[in-house]
Structure 1
Amino acid sequence: MLSFRASLALLLSAVLCAAPAFATPTHKKASSSHTRHSSKSTKASAKSRHKKLHGQQGIDTARATEIQQALIREHYMTGEPTGQWDSTTMAAMQKYQADQGWQTKLMPDSRAIKKLGLGPDYSNAINASGSSFNGPKPATDIPAAQASGFASASGVNR
Protein backbone atom coordinates (compact mmCIF):
# COMPACT_ATOMS: atom_id res chain seq x y z
CA MET A 1 0.00 0.00 0.00
CA LEU A 2 2.86 2.34 0.78
CA SER A 3 4.51 1.72 -2.58
CA PHE A 4 1.23 2.54 -4.38
CA ARG A 5 1.00 5.91 -2.61
CA ALA A 6 4.64 6.63 -3.33
CA SER A 7 4.16 5.76 -7.00
CA LEU A 8 1.08 7.98 -7.18
CA ALA A 9 2.92 10.90 -5.55
CA LEU A 10 5.86 10.50 -7.93
CA LEU A 11 3.54 10.40 -10.95
CA LEU A 12 1.63 13.49 -9.77
CA SER A 13 4.82 15.48 -9.18
CA ALA A 14 6.12 14.50 -12.63
CA VAL A 15 2.91 15.72 -14.26
CA LEU A 16 3.03 19.01 -12.35
CA CYS A 17 6.65 19.59 -13.40
CA ALA A 18 5.98 18.74 -17.04
CA ALA A 19 2.78 20.82 -17.39
CA PRO A 20 4.53 24.22 -17.79
CA ALA A 21 6.62 22.85 -20.66
CA PHE A 22 3.48 22.00 -22.63
CA ALA A 23 1.70 25.25 -21.75
CA THR A 24 4.15 27.61 -23.48
CA PRO A 25 2.46 29.49 -26.31
CA THR A 26 3.70 29.10 -29.85
CA HIS A 27 3.53 31.95 -32.35
CA LYS A 28 2.84 31.53 -36.02
CA LYS A 29 4.27 33.86 -38.63
CA ALA A 30 1.79 35.68 -40.79
CA SER A 31 1.74 34.42 -44.33
CA SER A 32 3.02 36.80 -46.98
CA SER A 33 -0.12 36.35 -49.10
CA HIS A 34 -2.26 37.97 -46.41
CA THR A 35 -2.53 41.71 -46.92
CA ARG A 36 -3.56 44.06 -44.18
CA HIS A 37 -5.61 47.19 -44.83
CA SER A 38 -5.21 50.00 -42.36
CA SER A 39 -7.56 52.45 -43.99
CA LYS A 40 -9.41 54.53 -41.42
CA SER A 41 -12.47 54.84 -43.64
CA THR A 42 -12.87 51.06 -43.79
CA LYS A 43 -12.68 50.77 -40.00
CA ALA A 44 -15.05 53.69 -39.44
CA SER A 45 -17.65 52.32 -41.84
CA ALA A 46 -17.40 48.86 -40.27
CA LYS A 47 -18.01 50.33 -36.81
CA SER A 48 -20.96 52.43 -37.95
CA ARG A 49 -22.59 49.42 -39.60
CA HIS A 50 -22.37 47.38 -36.41
CA LYS A 51 -23.23 50.12 -33.93
CA LYS A 52 -26.51 49.26 -32.27
CA LEU A 53 -28.63 52.03 -30.83
CA HIS A 54 -30.04 51.44 -27.36
CA GLY A 55 -32.86 53.10 -25.47
CA GLN A 56 -35.37 55.68 -26.56
CA GLN A 57 -34.15 57.69 -29.54
CA GLY A 58 -36.88 60.33 -29.65
CA ILE A 59 -40.25 61.37 -28.26
CA ASP A 60 -43.44 60.62 -30.14
CA THR A 61 -45.50 63.62 -31.28
CA ALA A 62 -48.54 62.62 -29.20
CA ARG A 63 -46.39 62.12 -26.10
CA ALA A 64 -44.60 65.43 -26.67
CA THR A 65 -48.01 67.14 -26.85
CA GLU A 66 -49.05 65.57 -23.51
CA ILE A 67 -45.80 66.65 -21.86
CA GLN A 68 -46.14 70.18 -23.27
CA GLN A 69 -49.73 70.44 -22.00
CA ALA A 70 -48.57 69.38 -18.52
CA LEU A 71 -45.66 71.85 -18.58
CA ILE A 72 -48.05 74.64 -19.65
CA ARG A 73 -50.42 73.67 -16.82
CA GLU A 74 -47.51 73.83 -14.34
CA HIS A 75 -46.44 77.25 -15.76
CA TYR A 76 -43.10 76.08 -17.13
CA MET A 77 -44.16 76.82 -20.72
CA THR A 78 -46.43 79.33 -22.39
CA GLY A 79 -48.40 79.15 -25.61
CA GLU A 80 -49.95 76.18 -27.30
CA PRO A 81 -48.50 72.64 -27.47
CA THR A 82 -46.89 71.94 -30.84
CA GLY A 83 -46.12 68.23 -30.47
CA GLN A 84 -42.50 68.87 -31.39
CA TRP A 85 -39.74 68.08 -28.89
CA ASP A 86 -37.98 71.38 -29.58
CA SER A 87 -35.48 73.51 -27.64
CA THR A 88 -38.28 75.38 -25.81
CA THR A 89 -39.81 72.13 -24.56
CA MET A 90 -36.40 70.71 -23.57
CA ALA A 91 -35.55 73.89 -21.65
CA ALA A 92 -38.91 73.82 -19.84
CA MET A 93 -38.47 70.15 -18.93
CA GLN A 94 -34.91 70.74 -17.72
CA LYS A 95 -36.12 73.66 -15.56
CA TYR A 96 -38.95 71.55 -14.13
CA GLN A 97 -36.59 68.69 -13.28
CA ALA A 98 -33.98 71.06 -11.81
CA ASP A 99 -36.65 72.68 -9.59
CA GLN A 100 -37.50 69.18 -8.30
CA GLY A 101 -33.81 68.45 -7.62
CA TRP A 102 -33.59 65.77 -10.31
CA GLN A 103 -31.27 65.24 -13.27
CA THR A 104 -31.58 67.66 -16.16
CA LYS A 105 -30.71 65.46 -19.11
CA LEU A 106 -32.41 65.95 -22.43
CA MET A 107 -34.80 63.01 -21.99
CA PRO A 108 -37.48 63.43 -19.32
CA ASP A 109 -36.94 61.71 -15.98
CA SER A 110 -39.57 59.09 -15.10
CA ARG A 111 -40.22 60.83 -11.78
CA ALA A 112 -40.96 64.08 -13.63
CA ILE A 113 -43.37 62.32 -15.97
CA LYS A 114 -45.21 60.79 -13.00
CA LYS A 115 -45.31 64.07 -11.09
CA LEU A 116 -46.73 65.82 -14.14
CA GLY A 117 -49.57 63.28 -14.02
CA LEU A 118 -48.44 61.42 -17.13
CA GLY A 119 -47.35 58.16 -15.51
CA PRO A 120 -48.83 54.75 -16.20
CA ASP A 121 -52.57 54.28 -15.82
CA TYR A 122 -53.51 51.07 -14.03
CA SER A 123 -57.23 51.79 -13.70
CA ASN A 124 -58.15 49.24 -16.39
CA ALA A 125 -55.87 46.51 -15.05
CA ILE A 126 -57.36 43.09 -14.38
CA ASN A 127 -56.88 43.32 -10.61
CA ALA A 128 -57.42 47.10 -10.24
CA SER A 129 -60.79 46.86 -8.46
CA GLY A 130 -59.46 44.84 -5.52
CA SER A 131 -56.00 46.33 -5.44
CA SER A 132 -54.30 48.80 -3.17
CA PHE A 133 -55.44 51.63 -5.45
CA ASN A 134 -58.79 51.54 -3.68
CA GLY A 135 -59.16 52.65 -0.09
CA PRO A 136 -59.46 50.04 2.66
CA LYS A 137 -62.86 48.60 3.49
CA PRO A 138 -64.55 50.00 6.62
CA ALA A 139 -64.25 47.90 9.78
CA THR A 140 -68.03 47.35 9.82
CA ASP A 141 -67.77 45.34 6.58
CA ILE A 142 -65.51 42.70 8.16
CA PRO A 143 -67.46 39.49 8.96
CA ALA A 144 -67.85 38.75 12.69
CA ALA A 145 -66.00 35.41 12.48
CA GLN A 146 -63.05 37.10 10.82
CA ALA A 147 -63.04 39.97 13.33
CA SER A 148 -63.04 37.51 16.24
CA GLY A 149 -60.17 35.63 14.58
CA PHE A 150 -58.21 38.88 14.34
CA ALA A 151 -58.93 39.67 17.97
CA SER A 152 -57.86 36.25 19.23
CA ALA A 153 -54.71 36.27 17.11
CA SER A 154 -53.70 39.71 18.36
CA GLY A 155 -54.48 38.92 21.99
CA VAL A 156 -57.07 41.66 22.27
CA ASN A 157 -60.23 40.74 24.18
CA ARG A 158 -63.51 42.23 23.05
Structure 2
Amino acid sequence: MLLFRASLAFLLSAVLCAAPAFATPTHKKSSSSHARSAHHSGKSTKASAKSRHKKLHGQQAIDPARATEIQKALIREHYMTGEPTGQWDAATMAAMQKYQSDQGWQTKLMPDSRALKKLGLGPDYSDAINAPGASFNGPKPPTDIPAAQAAGFASASGVNR
Protein backbone atom coordinates (compact mmCIF):
# COMPACT_ATOMS: atom_id res chain seq x y z
CA MET A 1 0.00 0.00 0.00
CA LEU A 2 2.87 2.35 0.78
CA LEU A 3 4.49 1.60 -2.56
CA PHE A 4 1.19 2.31 -4.34
CA ARG A 5 0.84 5.71 -2.62
CA ALA A 6 4.46 6.62 -3.41
CA SER A 7 3.96 5.70 -7.07
CA LEU A 8 0.73 7.66 -7.25
CA ALA A 9 2.34 10.72 -5.65
CA PHE A 10 5.28 10.53 -8.06
CA LEU A 11 2.99 10.19 -11.07
CA LEU A 12 0.81 13.10 -9.98
CA SER A 13 3.80 15.38 -9.42
CA ALA A 14 5.26 14.41 -12.82
CA VAL A 15 1.98 15.28 -14.55
CA LEU A 16 1.75 18.62 -12.77
CA CYS A 17 5.33 19.50 -13.68
CA ALA A 18 4.96 18.46 -17.34
CA ALA A 19 1.59 20.18 -17.96
CA PRO A 20 3.05 23.69 -18.53
CA ALA A 21 5.43 22.28 -21.13
CA PHE A 22 2.50 21.13 -23.28
CA ALA A 23 0.37 24.23 -22.80
CA THR A 24 -0.21 26.43 -25.86
CA PRO A 25 0.94 30.01 -25.36
CA THR A 26 -1.52 32.72 -26.33
CA HIS A 27 -0.62 36.23 -27.35
CA LYS A 28 -2.93 39.16 -27.15
CA LYS A 29 -2.76 41.82 -29.83
CA SER A 30 -2.90 45.36 -28.67
CA SER A 31 -5.79 47.20 -30.24
CA SER A 32 -4.80 50.66 -29.14
CA SER A 33 -3.30 52.97 -31.72
CA HIS A 34 -0.82 54.21 -29.10
CA ALA A 35 0.77 50.76 -28.82
CA ARG A 36 0.96 50.43 -32.60
CA SER A 37 2.45 53.85 -33.18
CA ALA A 38 4.99 53.35 -30.41
CA HIS A 39 6.00 50.03 -31.94
CA HIS A 40 6.32 51.34 -35.49
CA SER A 41 7.89 54.70 -34.65
CA GLY A 42 11.28 53.07 -34.17
CA LYS A 43 11.71 52.19 -37.85
CA SER A 44 14.73 53.65 -39.47
CA THR A 45 14.74 55.47 -42.78
CA LYS A 46 17.17 52.83 -44.06
CA ALA A 47 14.52 50.11 -43.60
CA SER A 48 11.84 52.14 -45.38
CA ALA A 49 14.25 52.92 -48.23
CA LYS A 50 15.01 49.22 -48.54
CA SER A 51 11.30 48.36 -48.77
CA ARG A 52 10.90 50.76 -51.71
CA HIS A 53 13.45 48.73 -53.67
CA LYS A 54 11.97 45.28 -53.15
CA LYS A 55 12.70 42.69 -55.79
CA LEU A 56 9.58 41.81 -57.74
CA HIS A 57 8.71 38.12 -57.86
CA GLY A 58 6.64 36.15 -60.33
CA GLN A 59 5.65 36.91 -63.89
CA GLN A 60 5.54 40.65 -64.53
CA ALA A 61 4.39 40.65 -68.17
CA ILE A 62 2.91 38.27 -70.70
CA ASP A 63 5.29 37.10 -73.40
CA PRO A 64 4.28 38.31 -76.90
CA ALA A 65 4.14 34.72 -78.21
CA ARG A 66 1.81 33.72 -75.37
CA ALA A 67 -0.28 36.87 -75.87
CA THR A 68 -0.67 35.90 -79.54
CA GLU A 69 -1.87 32.39 -78.56
CA ILE A 70 -4.40 33.86 -76.13
CA GLN A 71 -5.61 36.41 -78.68
CA LYS A 72 -6.08 33.68 -81.33
CA ALA A 73 -8.16 31.66 -78.87
CA LEU A 74 -10.24 34.71 -77.89
CA ILE A 75 -10.83 35.50 -81.58
CA ARG A 76 -11.83 31.87 -82.21
CA GLU A 77 -14.33 32.10 -79.33
CA HIS A 78 -15.68 35.44 -80.66
CA TYR A 79 -14.50 37.54 -77.74
CA MET A 80 -12.14 39.58 -79.94
CA THR A 81 -12.11 40.65 -83.57
CA GLY A 82 -9.29 41.39 -85.93
CA GLU A 83 -5.82 39.90 -86.03
CA PRO A 84 -3.65 38.93 -83.04
CA THR A 85 -1.02 41.59 -82.28
CA GLY A 86 1.04 39.84 -79.61
CA GLN A 87 0.55 42.81 -77.30
CA TRP A 88 -1.25 42.37 -73.98
CA ASP A 89 -3.24 45.57 -74.52
CA ALA A 90 -6.51 46.98 -73.17
CA ALA A 91 -8.60 45.22 -75.84
CA THR A 92 -7.08 41.84 -74.96
CA MET A 93 -7.54 42.41 -71.23
CA ALA A 94 -11.17 43.45 -71.77
CA ALA A 95 -11.85 40.36 -73.91
CA MET A 96 -10.25 38.05 -71.34
CA GLN A 97 -12.15 39.75 -68.53
CA LYS A 98 -15.44 39.29 -70.43
CA TYR A 99 -14.60 35.64 -71.15
CA GLN A 100 -13.82 34.92 -67.51
CA SER A 101 -16.93 36.78 -66.36
CA ASP A 102 -19.13 34.80 -68.77
CA GLN A 103 -17.73 31.58 -67.27
CA GLY A 104 -18.58 32.80 -63.75
CA TRP A 105 -14.93 33.13 -62.74
CA GLN A 106 -13.00 35.96 -61.12
CA THR A 107 -12.01 38.83 -63.37
CA LYS A 108 -9.18 40.44 -61.39
CA LEU A 109 -6.36 38.01 -62.20
CA MET A 110 -5.55 38.08 -65.85
CA PRO A 111 -5.55 35.51 -67.29
CA ASP A 112 -7.06 32.90 -65.00
CA SER A 113 -5.63 29.38 -65.33
CA ARG A 114 -9.11 27.90 -65.76
CA ALA A 115 -9.78 30.27 -68.65
CA LEU A 116 -6.52 29.30 -70.35
CA LYS A 117 -7.34 25.61 -69.99
CA LYS A 118 -10.85 26.07 -71.35
CA LEU A 119 -9.45 28.06 -74.30
CA GLY A 120 -7.24 25.04 -75.06
CA LEU A 121 -4.06 26.73 -73.87
CA GLY A 122 -3.40 24.66 -70.75
CA PRO A 123 -0.39 22.44 -70.13
CA ASP A 124 0.60 19.91 -72.76
CA TYR A 125 0.60 16.35 -71.43
CA SER A 126 0.97 14.64 -74.80
CA ASP A 127 4.38 13.24 -73.77
CA ALA A 128 3.10 11.78 -70.49
CA ILE A 129 3.48 8.03 -70.11
CA ASN A 130 -0.27 7.58 -69.62
CA ALA A 131 -1.34 9.78 -72.55
CA PRO A 132 -3.25 8.14 -75.39
CA GLY A 133 -0.80 7.03 -78.07
CA ALA A 134 2.23 7.40 -75.76
CA SER A 135 5.21 5.17 -76.40
CA PHE A 136 5.00 3.52 -73.00
CA ASN A 137 5.57 -0.22 -73.15
CA GLY A 138 3.28 -2.32 -71.01
CA PRO A 139 4.46 -5.21 -68.85
CA LYS A 140 5.84 -8.33 -70.49
CA PRO A 141 3.48 -11.28 -70.89
CA PRO A 142 4.02 -14.08 -68.33
CA THR A 143 5.44 -16.36 -71.02
CA ASP A 144 8.40 -13.99 -71.53
CA ILE A 145 9.46 -14.08 -67.85
CA PRO A 146 12.26 -16.58 -67.08
CA ALA A 147 11.08 -19.65 -65.15
CA ALA A 148 13.38 -18.97 -62.15
CA GLN A 149 12.05 -15.43 -61.87
CA ALA A 150 8.43 -16.59 -62.14
CA ALA A 151 9.11 -19.20 -59.41
CA GLY A 152 10.59 -16.46 -57.22
CA PHE A 153 7.50 -14.30 -57.73
CA ALA A 154 5.22 -17.21 -56.90
CA SER A 155 7.08 -18.15 -53.72
CA ALA A 156 7.28 -14.55 -52.57
CA SER A 157 3.57 -13.98 -53.11
CA GLY A 158 2.53 -17.26 -51.50
CA VAL A 159 0.60 -18.30 -54.61
CA ASN A 160 1.04 -21.86 -55.79
CA ARG A 161 1.38 -22.35 -59.50
Q: Who is 2:78 aligned against?
A: 75
Hey, what does 1:89 align to over in structure 2?
A: 92
CA RMSD after TM alignment: 3.5
In structure 2, distance between residues paired with 1:130 and 1:69 = 27
Q: Is the 8 A contact 1:64 1:85 kept in 2?
A: yes
Q: Which position in structure 1 is the counterpart of 2:130? A: 127
| TM-score, with length taken from structure 1 | 0.53
List alignment gaps of at least 5 residues for structure 2. 1-41, 135-161
Read off the aligned partner of 2:53 and give its amino acid letter.
Answer: R
TM-score of the aligned structures, taking structure 2 as reference length? 0.52
Following superposition, which runs of at least 4 residues in structure 1 exceed 4 angstroms of deviation? 38-41
Secondary structure, aligned partner of 1:92:
helix
Match of 1:115 in 2: 118
> CA separation in 1, counterparts of 2:45 and 2:87?
35
1:46 alignment partner, one of 50, 60, 65: 50
Q: Does the Cα contact within 8 Å between 1:90 and 1:106 map onto a contact in 2? A: no
Larger Rg: 1
Residue type at the aligned position of 1:78 = T
Q: What percentage of residue pairs aligned between the two structures are identical?
A: 73
1:104 Cα deviation after fit: 0.2
* Count, aligned residues: 114
Aligned counterparts of 2:85 and 2:48: Cα–Cα separation in 1: 38
Q: Find the aligned partners of 2:118 and 2:85 in 1 and give their Cα distance.
A: 21
The offset of 1:42, in angstroms, is 3.6
Partner of 1:8: none
Deviation at 1:58, TM superposition (A): 1.5
Call closer, same or farther: CA 1:81–1:44 in 2, change over 3 Å.
Answer: same
The answer to whether structure 1 residue 100 and structure 2 residue 112 are counterparts is no
1:56 aligned counterpart, secondary structure: coil
Q: Which residue identity does 2:52 align to in structure 1?
A: S
Structure 2 distance, partners of 1:66, 1:52, is 26
**Structure 1: gaps spanning 5 or more residues:** 1-37, 132-158
Deviations 1:119-147 (A, max 9, x none): 1121122332478xxxxxxxxxxxxxxxx
